[in-house]
Structure 1
Amino acid sequence: MYLNCHTYYSLRYGTISEVELLELAEKNQVQHLALTDINNTSAGLNFVRKAQEKGIKPIVGIDFRNGVDPCFVGLAKNNNGYQELNNFLSKHLHHNKKIESRAPVFNDACVIYPFEKVLQNKQDSFLEHEYIGISTKDLRRLPFTKILDYKDKLVVQQAVTFRNKRDFNAHRLLRAIDNNILLSKLSQSEEADSDEKMLPLDDLLSAFSEYRFILENTERLMGSCNIYFDFSEDRKPQNLVTYLGDAKKDEALLEELCQKGLPERYKHIKIDKVILDRLQKELDLIKKMGFVSYFLINWDIVSHARKQGFFYVGRGSGANSIVAYLLHITDVDPIELDLYFERFINLYRVNPPDFDIDFSWKDREAMTQYIFDRFPNVSLLGTYVTFQEKGVVRELGKVFGLPKEEIDVLCDRKFNVSELDKVALLVIKYGQLLKGMPNYLSIHAGGILITQKPIHYFSATHLPPKGYPTTQFDMVIAEDVGLFKFDILSQRGLAKIEETLEIIAYNQPEEISSIDIHDVAQFKNDPNINKMVKSAQCMGCFYVESPAMRMLLKKLEVDNYLGLVAASSIIRPGVAKSGMMREYILRHRDPQRAKERAHPVMLSIMPETYGVMVYQEDVIKVAHYFADLTLGEADVLRRGMSGKFRSREEFQKVKDKFVDNCRNKGYKDTLIFEIWDQVASFAGYAFAKGHSASYAVESYQTLFLKAYYPFEYMVAVLNNGGGFYSAEFYIHEARMLGAEIHSPCINKSFMGNCIYGKEIYLGYMYLRDLEGKVVERIITERTTNGPFLSLTNFLDRVYISIEQLSILIRIDAFAFTGVNKHELLWQAHLSLSKNTKLDHPKLFNASHQHFEIPKLYATDLEMAFTQLELMGFTLCSPFNILAEPPSNDNGKRDLEAYLGKNIDIYGYLVTVKNTRTHQGTRMNFATLVDQHGEVFDTVLFPPIAAKYFFRGRGIYRFYGKVVSEFGFLSIEVIKMKKQDYIPDPRYADMKTSALRQNSDNK
């Protein structure tokens, strides 16, 4: 009888989930239930799924409204009707169109107009599929209206939005948040009626007992509505079924592409039985599982990318596949790495393997557009942004009118509950209630759906600023119904590779023809590259430059590709959290330890990682071989840990079976739960081995470029947003590699950085107050009419204000003139007034007056502080501007000599990581540059971290003990102090002049 029910996907309006709505229906003996969220279908599929499980007949529809003003409710009679409703809603959402008060004619959906709206609009004719909704509240007025004459059109429309008073209060708060007003200012017209609750079915029937025909009409309408989606384990994928339009042709094409790929991929290796058997095994299973078109679509996407010259990396569990390798979807050879086939695909797995295809951030948009143009029924995958603890407390604080200071205290949880007033307690109470509810719809990081049926068969779509239709459900619901995403992602690492090659092409054109960036096999065996890895000289290189990764590489003494593959996964939080990172390092350095400490079964399962779980597929191996779970059950375990699996009950059953099976095999509980804790600690953070291998491939490509083309590579790193560190540090690294660094130059620089030989000219991008239009004018004029000859020549050719020109002069952009910048500033001020117009070009060059300008001088120290002001960093060593010179010259090179002793050392702060111990106390890890330009690392344990604080960028003096852990040297700080810079000489001179002038006047 309930044809108008809302969940919290009626965003900032509803207050309960679709599951809680069904539980409410169960409690009230309701056997038919309609979900009709306001202009939203996010909960539709899961509502149908869960209703089937609970034995409740689901009906789905949409409550069409303009804001909160109801227009009509649409109910789907069948799946086609649901698609009609989704088409209608999507058209209005895409074009931000107002919904008319009269519904269109639907073929397979019916429409219910609210009683109040029928009266307001004086509607007096109704089509066959149109009805009038009557609530218990409307029954008092019904006998006194003409609406009673439409007996066969009247149905029960008792809206359900709340369970209780608390839900209603939460609803009012959500409405205030949505309107960005104080709760006290919330208009009643913005709220739902407080009576929108579910009554026990007998009470509802009793309320309508005088109008049996309304109940009969409602029963008849509900009986005519039937919706079905297949959520069974053996459901078929709903992705595009065929690539060429014919399944047999698809299979033939896939086999042809694999045969073509064999000699391309294995040109240096004999194609033996192992390779051919693996290929046949995969092809048979891909065909059997119906994943042929999925592989071919991914092949089509990467083939187009290669034709366009776009760089990409294929990652995910699909990297375990030889078919993916032969199709160039990935660059990872599963035979070389002995990648576990069952992580890629198995008969128990209904979903296809994951392919995460990374493109350069510059190219992803073009690839997304290609996919939308190339295939039918394409949409982006949606996601929900939920209310988080701090955010919701801040929103509620504003709604209740609390001052910012009090809101900050509540957000930071720096309070005693006993000291909070009534309003603050309400904020905390309702913050906990709203936490986790969806706030608004957004876009999945890279998921794209390519479906056989139109996407509106499953969901309405909205149109975010990105400009592509986007589903109103997320990836978990998509997988539930058999929709599997294509992940088209972006990263800056690939753009760095791409741009490095472009820079080499103009800076060293004779070199570019000899570079094959895809010949990773050559890079893996290059002693220079492997030496860089072993010594952790990896600044700027993809995934291996962070302090934690540099530390791990040193501890593991990694000097080859396979070692880097392992390190890429060991660094992940899952391995570290379980304590197995340390155990792995110990066993790596002493293989005998593995034989002594590892369980024989674990060691036999994972010999190459010394019996330690490192990769995602290790979870499957352990569950299958150690605990005798089937591969299907093992995959449930893996997915449950990744957070992508929704059924916690099923996960719990598998966990119980894991324990029971182990006990039956005679394992002791201590061992069982130790292994289980290791499995559980992965918690979605571990990489599939193929994923780690893909990362390692990209790492080797960047290491090759840094090893042989360091200047070009560092320029590309800077131009693509750097990486783990700030731009200042990458500029320092380029200098350490031998480059000569120049500040921005009128005749040499562009918006980004550029290189001429070994000379790097910084880009205008670092001048924070320089306007983009000024840069555009400079580059256009220089490109069209040649370099500038002098300041006068520049002023004749470029329209610029005195403020903008001053920035360029002060940063030494006119250094090529050989004229002191102070003299240039005088000349600029005498030539331009502050009111110089930039809008109209000069018809003639101005006649320039010649002024006698006194001889002026600029010092290096002044320049350093000007650079600090305009760019945020200096081009000289920061040690040059210390108020007191360092009392010693200790650096990284001295750490070994001080091992086990205390050292006094100075360092310029590069980065600091704040972390917390298991007890929740703060500690710090800091990376610094010493006086010689080399990097060293420090650690501040909790007692020291509580006493000393890093206060931003600058030079710190440390006193601490040099320690070694597995050969990695660092300093355990005992005390530290930030060092002062000299007073800014530009202003110090002004103060001196002012004092001298005052003295003369006396």
Structure 2
Amino acid sequence: TAPIDYLKRLTWEGAKRRYPNGVPQKAIDLLRHEISLIAELRYEAYFLTVWDLVRFARSRNILCQGRGSAANSIVCYCLGITSVDPNQMDLLFERFISKERNEAPDIDVDFEHQRREEVLQYVYDKYGRHRAGMTATVTTYRTKSAIRDAGRALGISLDRIDALSKMVDSRMTEGSLTNQAAECGITPDSAIGQRFVYLAENLIGFPRHLSQHVGGMVMTQGWLCELCPLENASMDGRTVIQWDKDDLDELGILKVDCLSLGMLSAIHRCFDLGARHYGPRLTLASVPAQAAAVYAMICQADTMGVFQIESRAQMSMLPRLQPRCFYDLVIEVAIVRPGPIQGQMVHPYLRARRSGQQPDYPNQAIRQVLEKTMGVPIFQEQAMRLAVVAANFTHGEADLLRRAMAAWRRPGLIEQFRRKLIDGMLANGLTEEFADRVFTQIRGFGEYGFPESHAASFALLVYVSCWLKHYYPAAFCASLLNSQPMGFYAPAQLIQDARAHGVVVAPIAVNYSQWESHLEAVTELPMNKVDCESPSSSQNDRISQVHMCKMSVSDVPFGLRLGLSLIRGFPQAVGHRIVQARTHGGLFRDLADLTRRAKLTQATVSQLADAGALQSLAGNRRAAYWQALSQEARPTDHGLFETSGVQDDEPIPEFLSAMTELEEVYSDYQTTGFSLRAHPLSFVRQQLERLRVTDAKQLRIARDGSFVRVAGIVLVRQRPGTAKGITFVTLEDEFGSMNLVVKPDVWQRHYRLARQSNAWLVHGVVENRENVIHVVVGRIDDLSQQVAGLELRSRDFQ
């Protein structure tokens, strides 16, 4: 069978599956048009290659989804490569493939991040390393690497260079490197110091070395070495092409991006848990659409842990934009990007959306381009269409504009189109004011904006993850924990959020925990009055506990049992041995029985004791730890207690009293990074109240413009490139999280503390805009001594 005939058969068979009630005429017309163009440009083998990768992934039960401009293609939709229907979304196929621009298509496919390696290995097994290879990427100097290499070249002390590289931000202000170098003992006025600062500042952005691309793959009929230069990959049996994606594009060499996405792993795990405990197995296509309760949750910015809309910026936008349908989510995903923000599109769109009135359009052609986004070009495709209908660009020129927008790391490229765009709009009778505004908006896309098809693909995962969070909160939290590392928030915040949604969380316990976190019927959870208690009213005052039993096929709700994998540094092989021994031999009777059957060493028993996982066997933590430390570690194939001659009934010294609650919490944080018992701030709450510190619950009703003091553990520090030097920080106390805005002058004034302290006491002013509350920081005090000894780690983003 000829490749094009095979592609046609697969496509029409897929169309029948996608449209079980009959393929709409519009979809039939689109399919005929696309297949004709694919055949004319001879891309059928490329589509079949990508289909084969997706087919393999599905045969191995690996969740995957195409994204980017490929989502404009109804052929990709019918082949199962993408999940968004272009027929419903009115997406433009020519954004993906165009005869006029003579450019190879580029299909990006996301796979579960914990299983993408299986797909890559399939490619090498099928094609061999001589016909398949990963593309390269040019790694450029960033701030820290520039400092380290410049310092090493000039012979500056490694201690000083290390101290400086830990201190600097990736986005430095002018003169900041000079000041920080002086703080680290590098004299900026000396000859070496001046040369060092000059070299480090000028190296930033300069190519450093070739690296392996995260997912770009090239597969060929002939040998790769006859086509392009190669080198061995770090993994045995694999090849890296010494050209990057731009080189391949220029030469017309087709590639497939096999990318990894953590949320796909989490969604798949949640589908599995849902099928096991709640009812029929869900898929991306079968999750019920347009659930009003889900959109109500999104509008409240109750989105911790979900895909894309969990960041500070997105959470601030949600109450303003108030998404009520799928296309609103598409806009939400796209609008909180550097392009729309820099192009001054956000506030005009929100004003138009609130008023519900379309602006006056200069002509009908421009109305057709902008009507669905209230007169504001939010997507790259709209900018391209505007250039054609408003400024007389040819389709080829519009594609050059698209390329300039796509080169967001080099935003100056769009400036070369300024005169042509403005002159073209003026020639069409448009006002200079309108022309300047449109160019400002288009120029914003040079700072990174989304094509509509890409935003639609991501919006589907946004909705699915929100649906799972709302209806399966315990399963969703377990899936996120089992898919780490991923997302904005650490396990501590994900667990606290689940408890705030009424999920009963049970601690790590060797007699009940699996390696991964899992669900147990609440009636079967061995309840420890400290560890497993339901959230306090202060934690769930916004959200009813009925969530934990919604959608269950029985009346029994499920709780979350934490897994052994959450103990920091605990060996996975040992965890599996514990579970296997318990499965075959029943619950462990005591510590000796555990160590004998699971063949544990002194070190692993101590880890379990430190984490509080032995309480059902050995009483309190100190007693368990005493039993572990009192054994002589001996290299043997037998259990620890069996060889040491310890008797099961050996008395425990009376002075080993149980830990205080504060000590228990400290031990929890040191071993797992979280505690189910109490929040660290609760132990200093009385002192904070004497200082009139406002907690997170009180902050929700604070008056706009009022002065407050707030305190908490630092969860996230984030400084987006579009924020003009402003740093956004999230603090957490026992009542919830608080959002801070730290302006550049305040950040610089408290630089070392702001960068390194894990707990802050902040003085600032409340900003309450449309029920979105921030504290604009005026002063930061260090609170880390009050929580000294805790293993607290923030997640910092640039």
**TM-score class, shorter:** 0.7 to 0.9
How many angstroms apart in 2 are the aligned matches of 1:327 and 1:614? Answer: 29
Residue 639 of structure 1 and its aligned partner are, at CA, apart by 0.8
Residue 984 of structure 1 and its aligned partner are, at CA, apart by 8.2
Note if 1:558 corresponds to 2:323: yes
| Alpha-carbon contact 1:902-1:959 (below 8 Å) kept | no
Aligned to 2:383: 619
The match for 1:867 among 668, 671, 695 is 668
Aligned to 1:877: 679
Residue 661 of structure 1 and its aligned partner are, at CA, apart by 2.5
Aligned to 1:137: none
Deviations 1:28-54 (A, max 9, x none): xxxxxxxxxxxxxxxxxxxxxxxxxxx
How many angstroms apart in 1 are the aligned matches of 2:617 and 2:17? Answer: 56
- Superposed, 1:676-755 pairs within 5 Å as 676-683=439-446, 685-721=448-484, 722-755=486-519
Aligned to 2:622: 822
* SS of the residue 1:939 aligns to: strand
Q: Which amino acid aligns with 2:588?
A: F
Please identify, of 836-845 and 532-541, the stretch whose mean Cα deviation from structure 2 is larger.
836-845
| Alpha-carbon contact 1:907-1:930 (below 8 Å) kept | yes
* SS of the residue 2:726 aligns to: strand
- Superposed, 1:762-781 pairs within 5 Å as 762-768=562-568, 770-772=570-572, 774-781=574-581
- Superposed, 1:295-310 pairs within 5 Å as 295-310=47-62
Aligned to 2:3: 250
The 3 A distance-change label for structure 1 pair 878 and 559 is farther
| Alpha-carbon contact 1:639-1:645 (below 8 Å) kept | no
Note if 1:374 corresponds to 2:126: yes
Aligned to 2:402: 638
The match for 1:320 among 58, 72, 75 is 72
How many angstroms apart in 2 are the aligned matches of 1:378 and 1:419? Answer: 50
Residue 396 of structure 1 and its aligned partner are, at CA, apart by 3.5
The match for 2:372 among 584, 602, 608 is 608
The match for 2:284 among 518, 540, 563 is 518
Q: Once superposed, what is the RMSD of the aligned Cα atoms?
A: 3.5
How many angstroms apart in 1 are the aligned matches of 2:304 and 2:52? Answer: 35
The 3 A distance-change label for structure 1 pair 402 and 881 is same
Residue 801 of structure 1 and its aligned partner are, at CA, apart by 4.3
Aligned to 1:175: none
Residue 901 of structure 1 and its aligned partner are, at CA, apart by 4.9
* SS of the residue 2:56 aligns to: helix
Deviations 1:520-565 (A, max 9, x none): 5x53221222222222211111112112111111110112211000
- Superposed, 1:565-604 pairs within 5 Å as 565-592=330-357, 594-595=358-359, 602-604=366-368
- Superposed, 1:235-634 pairs within 5 Å as 249-267=2-20, 271-375=23-127, 377-388=131-142, 390-404=144-158, 407=161, 413-414=177-178, 420-427=189-196, 438-467=207-236, 468-506=238-276, 508=277, 511-512=278-279, 514-520=280-286, 523-592=288-357, 594-595=358-359, 602-634=366-398
Residue 387 of structure 1 and its aligned partner are, at CA, apart by 4.2
Aligned to 1:964: 768
The 3 A distance-change label for structure 1 pair 941 and 681 is same
Residue 568 of structure 1 and its aligned partner are, at CA, apart by 0.6
Q: Which amino acid aligns with 2:111?
A: F
Aligned to 1:209: none
Deviations 1:327-372 (A, max 9, x none): 1111111121111232122221222333210000122111112223
* SS of the residue 1:963 aligns to: strand
How many angstroms apart in 2 are the aligned matches of 1:959 and 1:319? Answer: 48
How many angstroms apart in 1 are the aligned matches of 2:222 and 2:4? Answer: 22
Which runs of 5 or more structure 2 residues have no equivalent in the other structure? 169-175, 522-557, 791-798
| Alpha-carbon contact 2:696-2:733 (below 8 Å) kept | yes
Please identify, of 757-766 and 362-371, the stretch whose mean Cα deviation from structure 2 is larger.
757-766
| Alpha-carbon contact 1:541-1:703 (below 8 Å) kept | yes
Deviations 1:454-484 (A, max 9, x none): 3222222111213421111111111111102
Deviations 1:556-578 (A, max 9, x none): 01122110001111111111112
| Alpha-carbon contact 1:517-1:701 (below 8 Å) kept | no
Residue 710 of structure 1 and its aligned partner are, at CA, apart by 1.0
How many angstroms apart in 1 are the aligned matches of 2:788 and 2:132? Answer: 59
The 3 A distance-change label for structure 1 pair 804 and 257 is closer
| Alpha-carbon contact 1:908-1:953 (below 8 Å) kept | no
| Alpha-carbon contact 1:907-1:931 (below 8 Å) kept | no
TM-score, normalised relative to structure 2 = 0.82
Aligned to 1:939: 741
Q: Which amino acid aligns with 2:266?
A: K
Please identify, of 769-778 and 276-285, the stretch whose mean Cα deviation from structure 2 is larger.
769-778
| Alpha-carbon contact 1:442-1:464 (below 8 Å) kept | no
* SS of the residue 2:177 aligns to: coil
How many angstroms apart in 2 are the aligned matches of 1:250 and 1:606? Answer: 39
The 3 A distance-change label for structure 1 pair 525 and 836 is same
The 3 A distance-change label for structure 1 pair 982 and 259 is closer
* SS of the residue 1:545 aligns to: coil
Please identify, of 787-796 and 628-637, the stretch whose mean Cα deviation from structure 2 is larger.
787-796
How many angstroms apart in 2 are the aligned matches of 1:402 and 1:647? Answer: 35
Q: Which amino acid aligns with 1:837?
A: P
| Alpha-carbon contact 1:379-1:469 (below 8 Å) kept | yes
Q: Which amino acid aligns with 1:744?
A: I
| Alpha-carbon contact 2:11-2:78 (below 8 Å) kept | yes
| Alpha-carbon contact 1:742-1:759 (below 8 Å) kept | yes
Please identify, of 845-854 and 330-339, the stretch whose mean Cα deviation from structure 2 is larger.
845-854
How many angstroms apart in 2 are the aligned matches of 1:820 and 1:647? Answer: 60
How many angstroms apart in 2 are the aligned matches of 1:444 and 1:460? Answer: 15
Q: Which amino acid aligns with 1:791?
A: L
* SS of the residue 1:595 aligns to: coil
The 3 A distance-change label for structure 1 pair 914 and 796 is closer
How many angstroms apart in 1 are the aligned matches of 2:144 and 2:477? Answer: 39
Which runs of 5 or more structure 1 residues have no equivalent in the other structure? 1-243, 987-1002
Q: Which amino acid aligns with 2:775?
A: I
* SS of the residue 1:732 aligns to: helix
**Greater relative contact order structure (CA < 8 Å, 6+ sep):** 2
Please identify, of 896-905 and 395-404, the stretch whose mean Cα deviation from structure 2 is larger.
896-905
The 3 A distance-change label for structure 1 pair 361 and 985 is closer
How much identity, in percent, do the aligned residues show? 25
Residue 879 of structure 1 and its aligned partner are, at CA, apart by 3.3
* SS of the residue 1:381 aligns to: strand
Residue 689 of structure 1 and its aligned partner are, at CA, apart by 0.8
Residue 910 of structure 1 and its aligned partner are, at CA, apart by 5.2
How many angstroms apart in 2 are the aligned matches of 1:526 and 1:907? Answer: 37
The match for 1:913 among 713, 717, 733 is 717
How many angstroms apart in 1 are the aligned matches of 2:584 and 2:721? Answer: 60
* SS of the residue 2:209 aligns to: strand
How many angstroms apart in 2 are the aligned matches of 1:950 and 1:342? Answer: 48
How many angstroms apart in 1 are the aligned matches of 2:644 and 2:586? Answer: 17
| Alpha-carbon contact 2:337-2:449 (below 8 Å) kept | yes
The 3 A distance-change label for structure 1 pair 583 and 706 is same
* SS of the residue 1:549 aligns to: helix
How many angstroms apart in 1 are the aligned matches of 2:39 and 2:328? Answer: 35
